[in-house]
Structure 1
Amino acid sequence: MAGTTTATHINRSTKTVTRDGGSGTGGVDPHQLWLTAHQPRRGRRPGFSREAITAAAVALADAEGLEAVTMRRVAAQVGAGVMSLYSYASDKETLLELMVDQVSGELPASGPLTGDWRADLKTIAHLQRDLMLRHPWLPAALSTRRSLGPHTLAFLEHALAALRPTGLDGAAKLEIFAQLTAFVAGHVTYEITQTAAAKSPDRAAAEARYLATVAADGHHPELAEALSSPARTLTPEATFTRFLNRLIEGLGTD
């Protein structure tokens, strides 16, 4: 899955080169990470692989959050020494890149498109939301990642194909996809926060009482009117779909 700054990232990455010939992507060289065949250090062949290490890190993040993902914890998960992991991921930043791309492989990178780009974008957004809800650490990870791995690029290619009927240039299509991904990531973060808050009904009741008092003080007529409107369906799926429809329908092709 492309990150929330896909358009900016791609435009810059084709132009930025550091003094030492690197890619300008911080501590991770995407060419080396994704295009160079991985060869572990010489010696006895280890009983694990980069894929197994990445899967262990994903499992830890799913269960306990990104904070739980340390080289030591991941090494323990795969039954390896900490130092041996550095043959596969030189640091946590690199491991995070591997994690994001691995879970992005759960997204379909092919399949028929309807030709209705708005309908196809809505489908793509729902797929992204489902993925982020399965991996609640993903929205935060997308905001800091710097490279686009093979699974991410495959899904991006699919999304750009969905936008072909718009007739927009490449930069505009990248911007639309970045905007869509940012919306999904932000909404999923909100959903996760609301789910946690729902576990504290006293807090929710206190918040409702506070807003009712403020709305009745005469100084917030717009808020009072908004709160007096009939309640809408508040299921997470319905709320996401409503907001998504507004976003997609508002996108033009200028």
Structure 2
Amino acid sequence: MRVRSTRTVTRDGESGAAGVGVDPQQLWLGRPQPRRGRRPAYSREAITAAAVALADAEGLEAVTMRRVAAQVGAGVMSLYSYAPDKETLLELMVDHVSGELPASSTPTGDWRADLKAIGHLQRSLMLRHPWLPAALSTRRTPGPNTLAFLEHALAVLRPTGLDGATKMEIFAQLTAFVAGHAAHEIAQSAASRSADRTAAEARYLAAVAADGHHPELAEALSTPGRPLTPEPPEAPFTRFLNRLIDGLDTY
């Protein structure tokens, strides 16, 4: 499907919108226009998949119209009929990977357990696509895959009896929490923290706590609980997710 856009093209071949940005109705609800002549060797889906593969391998910075065109074997200018600018391409990419989220399962009726399952699904998706948390940091219009998962989340929350606006807010806040935590996990993984480094940091904190100038830290570190040793990355995520969702009883 082609999407029309008023744009300017920079010297390096990138495109910038000259209007008000992505029109979600045109992007998601527009009908494919019939074409005359030979059928193109690529499609909007192929272009989006190529951009996702590029972002997965090299990060969002690597996703340029020129690089994506090279991936699908197309001319840069021909891509603009399908994704007029990088902003539109990002919209397509986010919805493309959202198709990996199962949205057809029937809620169990235990909305807390189902909502926690949604959080874990979102985390797994973001860790598979490390660029996704950053892409979600700006407002995105939900495409068909994203809407299908949103519909599932709202069905999960139906037993709460909350109004629609509150349910939408809960889903948005859950997604924001997962994105923030996933971004932290991705950054920590990229830092390649070794066991020796972690042990050194623990010794440093113990020394600071013993200097007499940080009584709150000293008390916190002396309280029986989890030791300052590495644990599976999913463990802190699960703890905070449980606290977040269990606390929704206060709504």
Alignment TM class, shorter chain as reference: 0.7 to 0.9
Percent of paired sites with the same residue: 81
The answer for the alignment partner of 2:11 in structure 1 is none
Deviation at 1:240, TM superposition (A): 1.1
Q: Look up the match of 2:243.
A: 246
SS of aligned partner of 1:111: coil
Which of residues 210, 228, 231 is equivalent to 2:226?
A: 231
- 2:99 pairs with 1:105: yes
CA 1:163/1:193 → structure 2, altered by over 3 Å: closer, same or farther? same
Q: TM-score, normalised by structure 1?
A: 0.84
| Whole-Å separation in 2 of the counterparts to 1:207 and 1:253 | 37
Tell me how far 1:43 sits from its aligned partner: 5.5
Question: CA, structure 1 residues 144+131, in 2 after alignment: closer, same or farther (shift >3 Å)?
Answer: same
1:102-251 aligned at under 5 Å gives the runs 102-199=96-193, 204=198, 207-228=201-222, 229-231=224-226, 234-251=231-248
Equivalent-residue separation in structure 1 for 2:47 and 2:34 (angstroms)? 13
Tell me which moved more, 33-42 or 85-94.
33-42
SS at match of 1:28: coil
Which of 63, 66, 77 matches 2:71? 77
Give the SS at the match of 1:251: helix
The CA RMSD over aligned residues, in Å, is: 2.0
Deviations for 1:107-145, whole angstroms, at most 9, x for unmatched residues?
Answer: 011112110111110011111111111101101101114
Q: Which moved more, 1:28-37 or 1:193-202?
A: 193-202
Aligned residues: 230
1:49 match: 43
TM-score w.r.t. length of structure 2: 0.85
SS at match of 2:174: helix
CA offset digits 1:82-127 (Å, max 9, x no partner): 1010010000000000000000001011112110111110011111
CA distance in 2, matches of 1:132, 1:88: 25
Partner of 1:87: 81
Q: Deviations over 1:171-222 (max 9, x none)?
A: 0001111111111101111111221233456654554343233211112112
1:32 pairs with 2:26 = yes
Q: Does structure 2 retain, via aligned residues, the 8 Å contact 1:40–1:88?
A: no
Letter in 1 for 2:90: L
Gaps of 5+ in 2: 1-18
Deviation (angstroms), 1:146: 2.6
1:41 deviates by 6.8
Worse-superposed segment, 31-40 or 173-182:
31-40
Residue 34 of structure 1: how far off its partner (Å)? 0.2
Note if contact 1:168-1:253 (Cα within 8 Å) is conserved in structure 2.
Answer: no
Q: Distance in 2 between matches of 1:199 and 1:210?
A: 15
- The higher relative CO (CA closer than 8 Å, separation ≥ 6) is in 1
Q: Residue type of the partner of 2:148? A: A
Closer, same or farther: CA 244–62 of 1 in aligned 2, 3 Å: same
Tell me, in whole angstroms, the C-alpha distance in 1 between the residues paired with 2:188 and 2:38: 49
Single out whichever of 38-47 and 50-59 deviates more from structure 2. 38-47
Q: Out of 217-226 and 101-110, give the one that drifted further.
A: 217-226
Task: Indicate the SS of the match to 1:136.
Answer: coil
Give unpaired runs (5+ residues) of structure 1: 1-24
Q: 1:166 to 1:43 in 2, by over 3 A?
A: same
